[in-house]
Structure formats: C-alpha cells, structure tokens
C-alpha cells in the first residue's frame, strides 16, 4: 500500500478540527467558534458520520471503519485519483464504454486514462485490461452492472484482474440493487486493494441528496478520511439518509416494481419494428439499439420524452439508454415510439 499511495498523501498531516480533538459528551461546547443559538444547525456535524455508517454497516454487513461517505460517488471517484495517482506520471486503466466520471476526474487530476474496449457483447476480457497496465498503473476502473451497457461483468474475469494486478481495483456497483447475482462487498476482506462504490442515488431514490459510499480496507478508508473535506456530509444529509435506511423495506418494494417494469418495457420495446436489440440488463435502464438513434431521440424530445442518446459512445452506435420509469411513463414512451 505504501508504494501505491502518493508520497505527499502518505506524509500528509490532516487538518485537525475541534470535533476531532474532543470526542464524547459535554454540556458546554465553547471549542469550535460556533454560534450557541439556532440548534441543531449551529453545530458542526460529525466529520466521520458514525451514526449513518453504523446503520449502513448493519444492512451491508461491512464494518463501519471500512466505509467512507461522499458527496455522491463522484467524491470518492475524485479522491481515488488524489490519493493514488501522481499527475503526469501515473495512469489508470478503465473499460469502455463506461461511466464518464472516471475519465473526467482523470483529466481534472492530469492523470493518463487508458481505455480498454469491452467485447462486442459488452463482456469483459480480463487479459486485455491486464495487458494495458504497466508499472505506473495505479488503478483499474470496473463498473458492474456497467453503465451504459447495463450488464453485470463476469465474476471470474474480475477475479483474474484482482489476482493479477498489483494496484487498486475499483468496482462501481451503483446499480447492484437491481441485480440479483452478487456483490463484491462480500470479497472486501479477501482483496485488500479492492474498493467497492455504491450510492443512494439510484435504488434508494435519493439522487438529490448526494450521498455515495466507498467500501474498502480500514487502511484505504483511512486515506480517504485524511484527504476528504473534514465536514463533507452535512447534517441534513446525515439525518435524512439515516431515516431512509430505516425504511429499507420501501426501497426493496421499489426495486421489485422497477424490475417488473424493466421486463415489461423490454418486452414492449422488442415488439417495435424500429428496435433492433434490447440488451440484457442487470440495472434500472435498458440499452436499446434502434434503426436511427438521432432521429428517434429528437422525435422523443419533441414529444417531451427524454432518453439518453448514446449513439456516439464506443460500441453503442444507434443506441438509446432508456431508464425504467413508472408503468405510466413506460407506456407513454412506447405509445410515442409506436407512432414514430
């Protein structure tokens, strides 16, 4: 790990806030230059969000010390570059097509981003990913189920990467709730250089709240905590997420409903003459190959229906990425497509 972390981060003495120096209960707090009035918003929030993490720990069966919470998954994605990748010197390897933020954060941090295409059917070839790595590769980015293709990457291929690459392997599981097969959270203790990302933005219905999760070894989480803004998760988010976790059953009902709708939407799409292929999805969207993605996209915009045009994305020519909506929304889409 010492060889993977940037030297300045290894040597970093993190900012010590008042809430770090004194932990515990007291009756008079005069240590943080807060206003004594306007409770509870006058006080700085818990910098390590232990209450939320303890609840996440219970539902995910991961120790609270192995969890980092961020302003969406975007925050841990950026922090991974800042912790491990020396600008202009190190590189990362990612699959293509995949989520755009890995590449954007590489550019922001001035780190070389090496893109390895998936096979035509979006399956992963571990040997190609491994072949793209060299002594300066710090991170391999995987996303499973993958965005925008929607498929789960094969476990045995990911294992080849975990077993043969000596750097950090990130598996972004933003859509894991929609996939019945497996999560890599169960393998965290087996692979000390594995980071798993999940989020409250999709299945939990909390995209506006901005709360993402990174799961890793205590050592890696320690580096996240050193580098992140001290109070990165505000008290409103901490309280709301904590309350939402108490309603996990509701999330499970939503997922069930969306999975049913996903099957129905796929079936309806497959019956349309303008649809050439609906790719198998383990997520809450369907990558759909159509006869004319640009024309259909613009037509739908005219009807007030917005899907994602992925036509210019690698391996996604003439593809639209369609999020599964409510029954009514999906039917509105299908009716419009029938009239195209």
Ligand X SMILES: *Cc1c(COP(=O)(O)O)cnc(C)c1O
329 binds ligand X (CB under 6 A): no
CB nearer ligand X, residue 19 or residue 149: 149
DSSP-assigned letter for residue 185: G
Q: Is 244 in the site for ligand X (CB under 6 A)?
A: no
What minimum distance in Å lies between the beta carbon of 68 and ligand X? Answer: 13
How many Å is the Cα radius of gyration of the chain?
22
Dist. CA 337–CA 205, nearest whole Å: 27
Indicate which single residue of 207, 236, 301, 306 sits in contact with ligand X (rule: CB under 6 A).
207
Nearest CA among 327, 340, 324, 287 for reference residue 309 = 287
Among 201, 284, 288, 330, binds ligand X (CB under 6 A): 201
Rounded to whole angstroms, how far apart are CA atoms 167 and 1?
8
Stretch 146-165 residues interacting with ligand X (CB under 6 A): 147
Distance CA 195, CA 215 (A): 6
- Contact of 324 with 313, CB cutoff 8 Å: no
Q: Is 214 in the site for ligand X (CB under 6 A)?
A: no
* Per-residue binding letters, 64-103, with ligand X (x by CB under 6 A): --------xxx------------------------x----
* Minimum distance, C-beta of residue 241 to ligand X, in the bound complex (Å): 12
Question: Mapping DSSP to helix (H, G, I), strand (E, B) and coil, where does residue 154 land?
Answer: coil
Task: Tally Cβ neighbours within 10 Å of residue 316.
Answer: 21
**174 touching ligand X, by CB under 6 A:** yes
232 lines the binding site for ligand X (CB under 6 A): no
Q: Choose between 97 and 167: whose C-beta lies nearer to ligand X.
A: 97
Per the CB < 8 A criterion, the answer to whether 116 and 133 are in contact is no
Q: Is 199 in the site for ligand X (CB under 6 A)?
A: yes
Q: Which residues bind ligand X (CB under 6 A)?
A: 72-74, 99, 143, 147, 172, 174, 199, 201-202, 207, 212
């Amino acid at each position: 790990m010492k060889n993977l972390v940037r030297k300045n981060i290894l040597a970093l003495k993190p900012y010590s806030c008042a809430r770090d120096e004194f932990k515990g209960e007291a009756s008079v707090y005069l240590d943080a230059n807060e206003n004594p009035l306007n409770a509870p918003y006058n006080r700085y929030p818990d910098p390590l969000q232990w209450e939320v993490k303890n609840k996440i720990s219970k539902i995910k069966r991961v120790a609270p010390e192995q969890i980092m919470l961020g302003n969406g998954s975007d925050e841990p994605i950026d922090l991974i570059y800042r912790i491990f990748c020396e600008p202009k010197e190190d590189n990362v390897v990612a699959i293509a097509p995949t989520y755009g933020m890995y590449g954007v954060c590489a550019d922001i941090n001035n780190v070389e981003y090496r893109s390895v295409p998936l096979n035509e059917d979006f399956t992963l070839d571990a040997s190609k990913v491994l072949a793209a790595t060299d002594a300066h590769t710090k991170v391999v980015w995987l996303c499973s189920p993958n965005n925008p293709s929607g498929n789960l990457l094969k476990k045995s291929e990911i294992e080849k990467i975990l077993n043969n690459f000596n750097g950090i392997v990130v598996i972004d599981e933003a859509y894991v709730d929609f996939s019945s097969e497996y999560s890599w959270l169960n393998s965290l203790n087996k692979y000390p250089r594995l980071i798993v990302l999940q989020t409250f933005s999709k299945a939990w219905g909390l995209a506006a709240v901005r709360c993402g999760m990174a799961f890793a070894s205590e050592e890696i989480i320690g580096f996240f905590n050193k580098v992140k803004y001290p109070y990165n998760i505000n008290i409103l988010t901490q309280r709301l997420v904590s309350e939402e976790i108490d309603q996990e059953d509701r999330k499970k009902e939503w997922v069930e409903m969306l999975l049913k709708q996903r099957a129905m939407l796929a079936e309806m799409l497959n019956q349309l003459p303008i649809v050439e292929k609906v790719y198998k999805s383990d997520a809450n969207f369907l990558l759909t190959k159509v006869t004319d993605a640009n024309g259909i996209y613009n037509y739908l915009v005219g009807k007030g229906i917005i899907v994602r045009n992925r036509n210019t994305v690698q391996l996604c020519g003439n593809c639209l990425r369609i999020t599964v909506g409510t029954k009514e929304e999906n039917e509105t889409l299908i009716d419009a497509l029938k009239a195209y």
